[in-house]
Structure 1
Amino acid sequence: MPATLRNLLLSPNIFSFSFTFLLSINSLFFSCCFSIDEQGQALLTWKNGLNSSTDVLRSWNPSDPSPCNWFGVHCNPNGEIVQISLRSVDLQGPLPSNFQSLNSLKSLILPSANLTGTIPKEFGEYRELALIDLSGNSITGEIPEEICRLSKLQSLSLNTNFLEGEIPSNIGNLSSLVYLTLYDNQLSGEIPKSIGELTKLEVFRAGGNQNLKGELPWEIGNCTNLVMIGLAETSISGSLPLSIGMLKRIQTIAIYTALLSGPIPQEIGNCSELQNLYLYQNSISGPIPRGIGELAKLRSLLLWQNSFVGTIPSEIGACSELTVIDLSENLLSGSIPGSFGNLLKLRELQLSVNQLSGFIPSEITNCTALNHLEVDNNDISGEIPVLIGNLKSLTLLFAWQNKLTGSIPESLSNCENLQALDLSYNHLSGSIPKQIFGLKNLTKVLLLSNELSGFIPPDIGNCTNLYRFRLNDNRLAGTIPSEIGNLKSLNFLDMSNNHIIGGIPPSISGCQNLEFLDLHSNGLISSVPDTLPISLQLVDVSDNMLTGPLTPYIGSLVELTKLNLGKNRFSGTIPAEILSCSKLQLLDLGNNGFSGEIPKELGQLPALEISLNLSCNQLTGEIQASSLALASWGSLISLITSSLGI
């Protein structure tokens, strides 16, 4: 070995040189391949904890000098991350707890990202955050109190998760908060009084938390910038605080399907910007405050299913922007205010199930934008306004279960958009105006239990969209018009308990979707046609004067569950084809003139469990009782013995 080389290797400086050289190489290698800054390292650490199978974060490359060009990452001109926005991506994993190095992070937007686990307490260290959106994930646990340290936070969206526990008592520390959504979680406890310290708050939504209870705190009135309160489908109870009147900017109060009680405070009239008042499905009592008439911008007034008493304030007629009024299912009395005729933008007026009396005010016909008018289940008397035809936008008119008199106005035919008409259970008289059957959009006409007379107009055939037609329990006469066969969509036809004569028109075969046919207690004659729609599930033509043998065609009605031919004048044998009606639950052939032998297999109908009546005929033979589906063979015997002479 040359001396110079030996001296070099034996020199103590060689080890120092080698170590320095290796460090330089190592530093050079890592600076080339892993040069990402501290911010990027924090993001990569979080990414490594995710279980996402997608490539949504493929741009998060550790060899980049900065994360500013990564998907979902936004930086300021200084290269500092100010926003992370990953909306509707499948991240599958926990929330980040290591973002302390992101000193300028202002927005953390991670909605609908399939995030799980709890909200880390470390969120309270992200001091620059102004916006947090974690909505629509599967986050569990409680809202950490530490998050209330974020004095710059303006928007906090935690809705639609599985959060539990109470709203942090120190929520009032979020002094910059404008937007707070906690709805559709599993939160419990009461709304903290400190919420009144959020003087900048504009939106507070915590509905859909069924265990959120207690009263709406009086302090809510200090949130004078509130535009919306949403506490629907909670257990919020007690009365609305008088301080509600301090909310001069409030536009929507939505506390429906809750446990509110007591009266609505008169101070509600001070909420001059209020547009939507949704307090339905509570236990609110007392009168509707007249101060509501001061709400010039009110559009929707939904107070249904409460315990309101007294009269409907006429002052509501001054709320000229109203489009929807629903006061149904209360204990309201008195008459419908004529001032409602001033509500020219009104589209829906629902006053059903109250104790209203008096007349339907003629002024209501001024509301030409009205499409729903529901006043059923009251004690309203008098006549239907003659000018009802002015309501050309009307699609639904329900006035059933009242004490209305007079005739059905012909002017209804001007309501060219009318789809559903129910005037049942009144004292209406006169004939059915043929003009209303020119309404092409009619799907339901229910006029049962009145005192209507005259004939059924053949114009009925023009209502080709008619689905449900009930005229039962009136005094109608004449025949069933053959034009009934034009009603291809008809599903339910009830003309029972009238004075209708003639036969069942063969054209009824055109009612291809008919499932329910009830013509009992009339004066029908002739035989049952061979053209009944095979879609029928119920046929009741009992208590008529139908004659002739029962057509074997009856076996084609394989969907039948109930067949009542009792109290007629049928003769001949019971056709064996009836055994094809395997879904029959009720069969009544009693009080006729059937003769011959009872089909032995009649008791084998598998669904026959309600009733079998063969009594008062001239039948012979026996039924195979061993397979009878009826619950009580004894009761069956009592029904058929008279036909067998036992």
Structure 2
Amino acid sequence: MSSNALTLFILFLNISLFPTISALNQEGLSLLAWFSTFNSSNSAIAFSSWDPTHKTPCRWDYITCSKQGLVSQIIITSIDLRSGFPTQLLSFDKLTTLVISNANITGEIPSSVGNLSSLVTLDLSFNTLSGTIPDEIGKLSKLQWLLLNSNALQGGIPTTIGNCSKLQQLALFDNQLSGMIPGEIGQLSALEVLRAGGNQGIHGEIPMQISNCKALILLGLADTGISGEIPPSIGELTNLKTLSVYTAHLTGHIPPEIHNCSSLENLFLYENQLSGNIPSELGSMQSLKRVLLWQNNLTGTITEGLGNCTNLKVIDFSFNSLVGQLPLTLSSLLSLEEFLLSDNNISGEIPSYIGNFSRLKQLELDNNKFSGEIPLVMGQLKELTLFFAWQNQLYGSIPTELSNCEKLEAVDLSHNFLTGSIPNSLFHLENLTQLLLISNKLSGQIPPDIGSCTSLIRLRLGSNNLTGKIPPEIGLLGSLRFLELSNNQLNGDIPYEIGNCDNLEMLDFHSNNLQGIIPSSLQFLVDLNVLDLSANRITGRIPESLGNLTSLNKLILSGNNITGLIPRSLGFCKDLQLLDISNNRITGSIPGEIGYLQGLDILLNLSWNSLTGFIPETFSNLSKLSNMDLSHNMLTGTLKVLSSLDNLVSLNVSYNKFSGSLPDTKFFQDLPDAAFAGNPDLCINKCYTSGHNKSIKSVRNIIVYIFLGVIITSGFVTLGVILALKTQGATLHRNFDEGGDMEWAFTPFQKINFSINDIVTKLSDSNIVGKGCSGVVYRVETPTRQVIAVKKLWPIKNEEPPERDLFSAEVQTLGSIRHKNIVRLLGCCDNGRTRLLLFDYICNGSLHALLHEKRLFLDWDARYKIILGVAQGIEYLHHDCIPPIVHRDIKANNILVGPQFEAFLADFGLAKLVSSSGCSGVTDIVAGSYGYIAPEYGYSLRITEKSDVYSYGVVLLEVLTGMEPTDNRISEGAHIVTWISSEIREQKREFISILDQQLILQCGTRTPEMLQVLGVALLCVNRSPAERPTMKDVTAMLKEIKQENDDIQKPNFLHKDIVTNPKVAVHCSSFSRSCEPLIEIPSSSYQIGN
């Protein structure tokens, strides 16, 4: 406590002990008693006017008195009191206004609050009050304003609220309330504002009695569990201006009776399951300003009557199934500022009347079936800042008139059939930050005017028919981060001036006709992550100075005419994950420094060059590498150094001069002969010391004898196993009675030193470490003291025929998977009925146990390492396996954690293997586990890679918050995705409060990273599968977050003061496919209300 506060406290004690020396009345003493409970260091300054020598508190700050000298108003806002509820004030029977808002008061609201019978206004908003709303609140018959929003209140809305007959404003949003909206709410005939959103535990339908609240102006029930249909009686609320029930579970049609709400200005029903047509009756609602119906199941056409709503400022019908053309009647919407129709099936031409929308700021028509040309009148839109029309069927040229839109910040016309040249004038738009014209049929040259557009951050012109040289003026774009000109017909040299774009993160010129040398100026692009110059005609050497690019992740120079040596300086690019310099004319030996690139995990491709010498011994350090191609060179020596690369999944060393024997590992044994072809001195199958036929015949005889011996021995072993199984105790008999008399087939996928008998004899109940829908898991210690995990899949139903061949084929696929973040499958056993899978045993157990059983605290470094490892494992399944493997059941329980917090993805691919097991809850295609299942499974029953992405996003939220997907700390019945979405959307407190508070306490300096990962998680749990990133993108984002903490930013064209659409703007156009989550929470969400 500060010295000022201490002085006041001592003075208060003196007054209490010797009241005769003070004339301060009882109300003043009560206020001082409350003041003594403040725990804030600045309270003495804020309350310095509270002088105990006064007779009354009427001249004190924050206090107002009546003519009789009694306290009538207490108004304290935005002062950190750190105190409990002011029970000391409950005797102030003349108090009409009690406002203690955003003051950090805690505790419960006492039932005695009902004694404040004169109260007109009670505002306790933006605190941390807990407990329930007391029934006694109904005693406050004079109450007009009750503001309890943004606390931690629980329980239901008391039915006694109906007794507060004069109530005008009721704000209960952003708490943890549950239950249904009481019908007694209909008794509040004077009610003007009802806001109860952000309480996910509130459920049930909108009560019919709400229609009795004839004075209602704002009804906010957003981000709740409200379900059912919108009652037709809503039309009786003729004074209603805002109906806000978004991110809920509304179904059915939008009732046509809504048109009777003649005063309605804001209709926010987005993110529900509404179906049917947009009612034509909306056309009679002349007061409408904003209609947000995105992310529903609306069908049909856009109603012509909407053109009568001439006050409309925002229309957002995105993410529905609307069809047809834009009606001509919309031409009268001259006040329109945002017109958003993304992701529908709207067809026809972009109407020319759009040019009359002089106030239009955002136009999003992407992902539809628009055809025809871009109308020239677009140039009349002087206020336009964003124009998205990508993924349509537009043709013709880009109108030069578009450059008249002087405020344009982002243009994306990608994936159309546009022709002609890029207008020079576009590059004179001073505010343009994003220009994306990917995958069209544009031709001509890149104009030198490009140098005038110094605000550009992203320029993507790939997959067109552009010709000519890259203009040197491009070096004037100092803000440029992403430059992609790939898949064109550009020629000439790469301009030296490109080195002036010192903020570049991606430079992609692949598949052109570029010539000349790689400019040494690239060394100045120190933030560069991706450099792709492949499939050109570049000559000269790889500059030594590329070693300065220490942020480089991917270097791709393949398919050129590069000569000289591989520069040793590349060893300084420690973050390299992919190095491809194949198909060139590079000579000399492979520098040993390449072997120190321990981050190299995607690909090392040096093929089709003229390299000589041995494979460097340092290559044994490339433990993360999954793909290596050294083929078509003149390399010599042995392959022994590669034997320790356990993570390799593909290797090609064909057409070199290697010699000696292959490494004796399972990986090399399984490689096809084509991987070693063209190495005459390399012993692939067998090595001979002489070529005599007699020696060959002798060897053949020995092989025959060995083969016969193996068969005989195997027979005895099999017989022994069967006998052993038959003599097991009751437990083993119970485990293996299905098919126990059938022969065991044992297929190892790794080098092992135990037998099937060593395994089956240990499968007793005492060794069970887990059970799931796929089977039982045992911890088994082999005779050599190796500990493995054995999963016994649930038995096949007796009526089903054995499918050993199918099982073996599927397991063979799983056994071929090799990745550092996927638990290793050692082998499988099958006797026709019982199926066993043998895995490495991971000592730290599951991520779920570590997070929720609190056996070990995971700091942020450990959690980040785990989530990145899991992402890399899923990325491998999705992008590097042919065909791709969908995991189907990603959850915290299926993520195992090693001794150094390495993550291992388990149970991948088992969904197919157990699909016939009959396990409760398992469908024909296992959909996953409760809480992690992607929402689209509920209506499509389809599982795709994007379903895995959603489940992974849930795991990210679980790691960040420390909560389970359906945690009992979240409002009743709510899911973690819904809860976090509401926290962000409503801004009821700082985002940091979403995170695991123990994590914040111990790792607070890493909070920016955590919030960035939160942004990635929100992208992954997008309700639309098409909007979710790929796992390759997710992995790239997570790695980028670790490298540089300021990568996640709001795009320049989405400022809070211009966005009126209260949705989290996570754009997924081709503009945002560069893996940056763009999360923008508009400020208008609080004013508009739930």
Residue deviations 1:152-173, cap 9 Å, x none?
1111011111111000012111
State which of 534, 549, 560 in structure 2 corresponds to 1:557: 549
Alpha-carbon distance, 1:79 to partner: 2.0
TM-score, normalised to structure 1, is 0.92
Alpha-carbon distance, 1:48 to partner: 4.7
TM-score, normalised to structure 2, is 0.55
State which of 616, 621, 629 in structure 1 corresponds to 2:623: 629
Residue identity matched to 1:583? D
Asked if the contact 1:132/1:156 (under 8 Å) is kept, the reply is yes
The number of aligned residues is: 618
Asked if the contact 1:393/1:415 (under 8 Å) is kept, the reply is yes
Is 2:398 aligned against 1:405?
no
- Change in CA separation of 1:35 and 1:434 when aligned onto 2, cut-off 3 Å: closer
Alpha-carbon distance, 1:40 to partner: 3.6
Is 2:31 aligned against 1:43?
yes
Q: Unaligned stretches of 5+ in structure 1?
A: 1-28
Query: What's the counterpart of residue 417 of structure 2?
Result: 427
| Map 1:162-177 → 2, pairs under 5 A | 162-177=152-167
Is 2:279 aligned against 1:285?
no
Asked if the contact 1:405/1:426 (under 8 Å) is kept, the reply is yes
Query: What's the counterpart of residue 570 of structure 1?
Result: 562
CA distance in 2 between partners of 1:467 and 1:47 (Å): 54
Which secondary structure does the structure 2 equivalent of 1:602 belong to? helix
Asked if the contact 1:603/1:629 (under 8 Å) is kept, the reply is no
Is 2:303 aligned against 1:322?
no
| Map 1:53-452 → 2, pairs under 5 A | 53=41, 54-55=43-44, 56-57=46-47, 59-61=49-51, 63-97=53-87, 99=89, 101-452=91-442
Q: Unaligned stretches of 5+ in structure 2?
A: 1-16, 627-644, 659-678, 680-1090
Residue deviations 1:452-496, cap 9 Å, x none?
112222221111111111111111111111111111111111111
Residue identity matched to 1:164? Q
- Change in CA separation of 1:553 and 1:68 when aligned onto 2, cut-off 3 Å: closer
Alpha-carbon distance, 1:143 to partner: 0.2
Alpha-carbon distance, 1:439 to partner: 1.5
Say what the alpha-carbon RMSD is for the aligned residues. Answer: 1.9
State which of 5, 18, 21 in structure 2 corresponds to 1:33: 21
- Change in CA separation of 1:629 and 1:144 when aligned onto 2, cut-off 3 Å: same
State which of 595, 598, 602 in structure 2 corresponds to 1:606: 598
Is 2:581 aligned against 1:589?
yes
Query: What's the counterpart of residue 619 of structure 1?
Result: 611
Residue deviations 1:99-136, cap 9 Å, x none?
45422221111112221111111111111111111111
Query: What's the counterpart of residue 6 of structure 1?
Result: none
Alpha-carbon distance, 1:640 to partner: 4.6
Residue identity matched to 1:570? I
Alpha-carbon distance, 1:625 to partner: 2.6
Normalized per residue, the structure richer in helix is 2
CA distance in 2 between partners of 1:637 and 1:130 (Å): 76
CA distance in 2 between partners of 1:202 and 1:410 (Å): 51
CA distance in 1 between partners of 2:574 and 2:89 (Å): 70
Which secondary structure does the structure 1 equivalent of 2:377 belong to? helix
Alpha-carbon distance, 1:548 to partner: 1.7
Which secondary structure does the structure 2 equivalent of 1:334 belong to? coil
CA distance in 1 between partners of 2:651 and 2:18 (Å): 99
The higher radius of gyration belongs to 1
Residue deviations 1:488-518, cap 9 Å, x none?
1111111111111112111211212111111
Alpha-carbon distance, 1:227 to partner: 0.7
Residue deviations 1:353-406, cap 9 Å, x none?
111111111111110111111100011111111211111211111000001111
Which secondary structure does the structure 1 equivalent of 2:27 belong to? helix
CA distance in 1 between partners of 2:185 and 2:402 (Å): 54
In percent, how many aligned pairs have the same letter? 49
Query: What's the counterpart of residue 1013 of structure 2?
Result: none
- Change in CA separation of 1:121 and 1:522 when aligned onto 2, cut-off 3 Å: same
Query: What's the counterpart of residue 450 of structure 2?
Result: 460
CA distance in 2 between partners of 1:551 and 1:49 (Å): 70
- Change in CA separation of 1:61 and 1:454 when aligned onto 2, cut-off 3 Å: closer
- Change in CA separation of 1:640 and 1:567 when aligned onto 2, cut-off 3 Å: farther
CA distance in 1 between partners of 2:416 and 2:654 (Å): 42
Alpha-carbon distance, 1:523 to partner: 1.1
CA distance in 2 between partners of 1:630 and 1:218 (Å): 62
Asked if the contact 1:467/1:490 (under 8 Å) is kept, the reply is yes
CA distance in 1 between partners of 2:77 and 2:409 (Å): 43
Q: Tell me which moved more, 64-73 or 633-642.
A: 633-642
Is 2:490 aligned against 1:500?
yes
CA distance in 2 between partners of 1:125 and 1:225 (Å): 28
Residue deviations 1:290-339, cap 9 Å, x none?
11111111111111111111101121111111111111111111112232
Which secondary structure does the structure 2 equivalent of 1:550 belong to? coil
Residue deviations 1:155-213, cap 9 Å, x none?
10111111110000121111010011111111111110110110000011111112111
Alpha-carbon distance, 1:50 to partner: 4.8
CA distance in 2 between partners of 1:224 and 1:637 (Å): 72
Asked if the contact 1:199/1:223 (under 8 Å) is kept, the reply is yes
CA distance in 1 between partners of 2:584 and 2:470 (Å): 23
Is 2:470 aligned against 1:476?
no
Asked if the contact 1:220/1:244 (under 8 Å) is kept, the reply is yes
Alpha-carbon distance, 1:575 to partner: 1.4
Alpha-carbon distance, 1:81 to partner: 2.2
Asked if the contact 2:339/2:363 (under 8 Å) is kept, the reply is yes
Structure number with the bigger relative contact order (C-alpha 8 A, sep ≥ 6) is 2
Asked if the contact 1:38/1:101 (under 8 Å) is kept, the reply is no
Alpha-carbon distance, 1:538 to partner: 0.7
Q: Tell me which moved more, 39-48 or 121-130.
A: 39-48
CA distance in 2 between partners of 1:132 and 1:584 (Å): 61
